[in-house]
Each structure stands twice: as structure tokens, then as C-alpha cells.
């Protein structure tokens, strides 16, 4: 699966899934027009085969789903 290299490597908490608005962990960049779509893990799984078949470059950061988020102590 190709990995996007022309865009920043890390998605942030501000990047949201284009389908449901949850935090995005995958960016799919379509060939030709360079349109980028952002997906949560669930919606990427639902569309993964079609995106790969279309030749999309995939930046997959789903490994970050279970990272512990540090919060400031009160």
C-alpha cells in the first residue's frame, strides 16, 4: 500500500473524518486531482478496498488509536 509523503506525516486531533467527524487517523490522497479524504478507523475499513483499487496514496496512522493521551494535572 503506497504511503503519502508530500503532506505532513502526522494527523492531529483537529483532523476530522469526512464521513462522521470523529478524529481522523487515515488520509487517502486520490491520484490525478490530488483530492485528500480523511477517515476515522471505522470508515477507512469500510472504504479501504475501493481506495486502494483506485490507486490512492494512504497515510495510515491507526496505530495511534490506542496511544495514551497525557492530560495536565489539576
- Is 29 inside any structural domain? yes
Q: What is the pLDDT of residue 4?
A: 47
Q: What is the pLDDT of residue 67?
A: 74
CB-based contacts of 11, cutoff 8 Å, min separation 6: 23, 24, 25, 26, 27, 38, 59, 61
Write the pLDDT tens digit of every residue in 21-64. 999 999 999 999 999 999 999 999 999 999 999 999 999 999 98
Total domain count for the chain?
Answer: 1
Q: What is the pLDDT of residue 21?
A: 95
- Is 73 inside any structural domain? no
Enclosing domain of residue 45: 1-6+13-64
Neighbouring CB atoms inside 10 A of 48's CB total 17
- Is 26 inside any structural domain? yes
Mean pLDDT for 15-19 is 97
Q: What is the pTM for the complete model shown? A: 0.77
Bigger pLDDT: 65 vs 11: 11
- Is 69 inside any structural domain? no
Amino acid at each position: 500500500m503506497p504511503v503519502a509523503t508530500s503532506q505532513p506525516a502526522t494527523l492531529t486531533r483537529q483532523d476530522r473524518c469526512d464521513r462522521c467527524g470523529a478524529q481522523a487517523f487515515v488520509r487517502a490522497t486520490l491520484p490525478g486531482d490530488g483530492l485528500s479524504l480523511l477517515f476515522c478507523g471505522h470508515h477507512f475499513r469500510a472504504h479501504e478496498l475501493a481506495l486502494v483499487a483506485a490507486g490512492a496514496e494512504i497515510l495510515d496512522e491507526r496505530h495511534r488509536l490506542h496511544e495514551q493521551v497525557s492530560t495536565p494535572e489539576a
